[in-house]
Structure formats: C-alpha cells, structure tokens
Amino acid sequence: MKRLAEFALEVATNNGASYADVRIIKQESQLIETKDLAVAAVNLGESTGMGIRVLCNGGWGFASTQELTKKGVEKAALRAVETARASATCLDKPVTLAPEPAYNAVWVSPHTRDPFAVPLETKIGVLLQAARIMKSVEGVTLAQGEMSFIKDIKYFASTEGSRIEQTFIRSSCGIVANATTEGDRQTRSWPNSFGGQHELAGWEMVEKWDLPGNARRIAEEAVALLTADPCPQGMRDIIIGSSQLGLQIHESCGHPSELDRALGQEINMAGASFLTPDHLGKLQYGSRIVNLVADATAPGALGSFGFDDEGVKAQRVYLVKDGMFCGYLSSRDTAHLIGLPRSGGAMRAESWSYVPIIRMTNISLMPGDAGTLEELIASSADGTILFETNKSWSIDNLRYNFQFSTEIAWEIIGGKRARMLKNASYGGITPEFWNSCDAICSASDYIEWGLPNCGKGQPMQTMWTGHGAAPARFRNVQVGMAHAVKGDE
C-alpha cells in the first residue's frame, strides 16, 4: 500500500501537480441492534480505498479509487490533476497553503481491549440482558439496544515529506426504553440518545457504561413520564445536563466556528454562520466563565487524532476565551484568509472516497467551579428546571436561533429534583443564551460525549465529533412544551 501511495504522488507531480497528498484507509465495522429479546441486525463491513488530493495551477483537484493497482492509482491521480486544472480556471486567486512541518509518525488511539476480539455472542448477551431488565418493568412496550465498532487504519503521504500511519478504534453502546399509552409515547435512553455514547476506545467503554446496571432506572423513568406534568411555559433559570449541553455546544458553537462556513465558502447542509470574521476578537459570545476549545488531543474523545487529513498535527485551539469569541476551526488553505500563521488542524473526510473539509474535532466547554451537579441543584432557586438527554432540536442556518427538547426534565424545589416534567423544551438566541451562563460544574462532572453523525457538505459527509461538558446553569431562558421538531444538522 505504501508503494502505491508513493506511485500516486509521483504520477501527480510528473503531470503538473505542485502539491499532492494521498490517504489510504482500510476500515472494518460492526453494528449490532436488538429489539426486545431479539437480534434485529448484525451488519459487518469492510472497505479499502485511496483518496488523492492535488494542487495544480493554484486549484484543488481530488479523485478516489478502490482499484488499488498501478493502473487504477494512475487513472485516479491523472483525474485529480485534470480536475485541479479545471478548478484553477474558476478562481480569483490561487490556493495558498499555510506551512506545516513534515512528519514521520505512527499514532494509535487509546484502548485496552480490541472490540473486534470480543465474541459477537458476548456483545449480544449484554444487549439482551439489558432488554430483559427493561421489559420486566410494567408499562415498557419496546426495549432497544445498539452497539457499533469501527477500526480505521489510515496511511497519509504528501509531497512535502509527511508519512503518517494512524489507527482509530471507535466504539459505541446504548439502550432505549419506550413506554406507550393510547395517547402518548415516552422514551428514556442510556447513556445518551441517538445510539448512546460514542468514544475513541475499545470494549472497555461498554463495560464502563454498564447497560444492564442502568436498564431498570431508565425503564421506570420512561413509564413515569407518561403521567408526568407537561413542562410549564415562560422564562426560567435552567440547568442543562452534560450530554444535552454537548449537543448545544455542537450546534451553537461548533458549526458557526467552522471557518469555511464563516467565509461563505461552504453553505450546504444547514448553512453559513453568524460568526463572521468581523466578530473575531470583538463579540462577547458568552459570560466570562464560558471557555470553549477545539481540542483534538483529548484522550479517548471521539474527535481526537494524531494528525488531521492534510497532515497537520493535532492541537488545542480556543474558540471562546473568557466569553470572548477568539478563534475558528481552520485548514491550511483558509488560515491565511484571517491572518493565521498555521492551520488549526480541522480538515477531515468521512472516508477515502471523500475530499477533506473543515470539520469539528472535540468542541468542549471547560469545567467551572460550581461543584457537582447535585451541589449546583442545591444552590439553585425554586422553579429552576433541569433538562436531561436530547430528544429533538432545531437551529437556523446561521446558528443563531435555536430550540431544543429533552427526554426528561425536573423542576427544582428546595434544592432538590421535585416534579418530573415531560415534553420539555428551551430556546433562545446563541450569544444571549451563552451570556446568561452563570455556573458550570467542576471537572468531576465533565464528560467527553461523542456524536458520530454530524452532517456537512455536498455531497454530504458524516463525521464523528466530540463535545466535553459538565452541567451548567443559565439564567432567564424561555422554556415550554416541545413540539415535533426534527433535528437539523
């Protein structure tokens, strides 16, 4: 494979490319789904291919192939050069790449047990054990479970001299309890909704999240929600749980800080950004305790790596510091457009068959000093509402106006969770919302949540991102009854 990468670089440069890079990716995947006490799906997959990206006459070209022979690679490299020549004729200015050292490196994501070495029967057994516990709770009408495991072996080579091999192991697990009456349906998920938790880790993460150990609690909560009071409407102080806050960060900070969106270069798949470059260093995005970072070095977080898909070493970049908007997710060809000396290392592609574009890494809210979630609840005024586990969301193309609903909420009375609430939602305007943040829990309650299916681009690419967060409190936020809103990536 490495010889084919060298051959691809040679063909590209011999035919006029001033720069070229190659990614060869071999992927193995496994998806397991259960419904009640039956296995609903076991999908096994393998994929290997090469993506070739070139600069010629100042324009980008890209081509990919699964025909990993000299003939197939040569054909793809020539097609990439031809595309670059054509794209160069449409540019006002040639592409300029920010400098980056050449690296010779090997990187492996942290894990203690390869999930592909764990028998399929063991994995199914965990899901069915959780299902039996959920189904034993009267009122539960459907118990669902899911696990997925992906191993990517990626080799990167460029004409600048980088030769990088990376191995990624991504694991996920989750269960869902559904309770239904003639006029209502309620759902509770663990550890998170939409497939559960996703990490750059091995089988040990499944054991850590203990699906059977949490099955009865979420089943009982799903049934209790059927008779719970609806969320009241009005302005309230709210506390947002860690996993829900992770999605809030994804939508209202991660996407608008993508520099290609902010520059108007990428407005497909839910749009542009209100964080245009004239706001950089000037917009009070949040209160002074709000610090948001893009950190591709966070161990075990889903958006981590050793190097991005154009060979830029992983780094930690502030997007918001002490409440001030101060940074973007950038690439080698966009960095200079806002005066950056180096790429922020945010270029990634879904697979070998897609060209890299600017994507989120781990966009995270740094912990505060408000103690544990229970301590934050104890310090909150009567009537504060605690929101947990996302149910749906909607946000405009500029990432400015939003609404989120959660599976469950509680009204806080006397410093404790009191009344359970169903169909709870909250909404607001992004900078107003983040400026209302007055307390963030401490590092003990900080979790790196994984989101595996962030959509962007045309043709659309899905990407795995991470979002670290501890629960936080926000003052005077609009709350109310959730409506049927589909999540908008």
**pLDDT truncated to tens, each residue of the chain (489 aa)?**
899 999 999 999 999 999 999 999 999 999 999 999 999 999 999 999 999 999 999 999 999 999 999 999 999 999 999 999 999 999 999 999 999 999 999 999 999 999 999 999 999 999 999 999 999 999 999 999 999 999 999 999 999 999 999 999 999 999 999 999 999 999 999 999 999 999 999 999 999 999 999 999 999 999 999 999 999 999 999 999 999 999 999 999 999 999 999 999 988 777 789 999 999 999 999 999 999 999 999 999 999 999 999 999 999 999 999 999 999 999 999 999 999 999 999 999 999 999 999 999 999 999 999 999 999 999 999 999 999 999 999 999 999 999 999 999 999 999 999 999 999 999 999 999 999 999 999 999 999 999 999 999 988 999 999 999 999 999 999 999 875 444 444
> Within a domain: residue 352?
yes
Residue 114 and residue 40 share a domain: yes
Q: Kindly state whether residues 278 and 313 are assigned to the same domain.
A: yes
Residues 191 and 318 in one domain: no
φ, ψ (nearest 5 deg) of residue 482: -75, 145
Q: Are residues 329 and 435 in the same domain?
A: yes
Query: Are 204 and 300 in a shared domain?
Result: no
Q: Do 180 and 234 sit in the same domain of this protein?
A: no
Select from 323, 309, 41, 318 the least CA-distant residue to 168.
309
11 and 52 in contact (C-beta within 8 Å)?
Answer: no
Q: Is residue 489 part of a domain?
A: no
* Burial of 3 from C-beta contacts in 10 A (0-12 / 13-18 / 19+): exposed
Q: Which of 398, 148, 139, 433 is nearest to 267 (CA)?
A: 398
* 318 and 450 housed in the same domain: yes
CA 62 to chain CA centroid, nearest Å: 25
Same structural domain, 175 and 286: no
488 assigned to some structural domain? no
Residue 230 is encoded by which pair of tokens? 């609806």
Last residue of a domain, one of 225, 252, 268: 225
Residues 6+ apart with CB under 8 A from 423: 230, 231, 405, 481, 482
Predicted local confidence at residue 486, as pLDDT? 42
Write down which residue in 210, 225, 240 finishes a domain: 225
**Residue 237 near residue 192, CB atoms below 8 Å:** no
The alpha carbon of 394 is separated from its chain's Cα centroid by a whole number of angstroms, namely 16
**312/426 same-domain check:** yes
Q: What is the 3-state secondary structure (H, E, C) of the chain?
A: CHHHHHHHHHHHHHCCCCEEEEEEEEEEEEEEEEECCEEEEEEEEEEEEEEEEEEECCEEEEEEECCCCHHHHHHHHHHHHHHHHHHHCCCCCCCCCCCCCCCEEEEECCCCCCHHHCCHHHHHHHHHHHHHHHHCCCCEEEEEEEEEEEEEEEEEEECCCCEEEEEEEEEEEEEEEEEECCCCEEEEEECCCCCCEEECCCCHHHHHHCHHHHHHHHHHHHHHHCCCEECCCEEEEEEECHHHHHHHHHHHHHCCCEHHHHCCCCCCCCCCCCCCHHHCCCCECCCCCCCEEEECCCCCCCCCCCECCCCCECCEEEEEECCEECCCECCCCCHHHHCCCCCCCCEECCCCCCCCEECCCEEEECCCCCCCHHHHHHCCCCCCEEEEEEEEEEECCCCCEEEEEEEEEEEEECCEEEEEEECEEEEEEHHHHHHCEEEECCHHHCEEEEEEEEEECCCCEEEEEEEEECCEEEEEEEEEECCCCCCCC
Query: Residue 92, class by beta-carbon neighbours within 10 Å (0-12 exposed, 13-18 middle, 19+ buried)?
Result: exposed
- Specify if 486 maps to a domain: no
Read off the pTM.
0.95
Pairing relationship of beta strands 347-348 and 357-358 according to DSSP bridges: antiparallel
Residue that is last in its domain, among 191, 225, 259: 225
> Is 149 found in the same domain as 20?
yes
Domain that holds residue 292: 229-481
Predicted confidence at residue 458, as pLDDT, reads 87
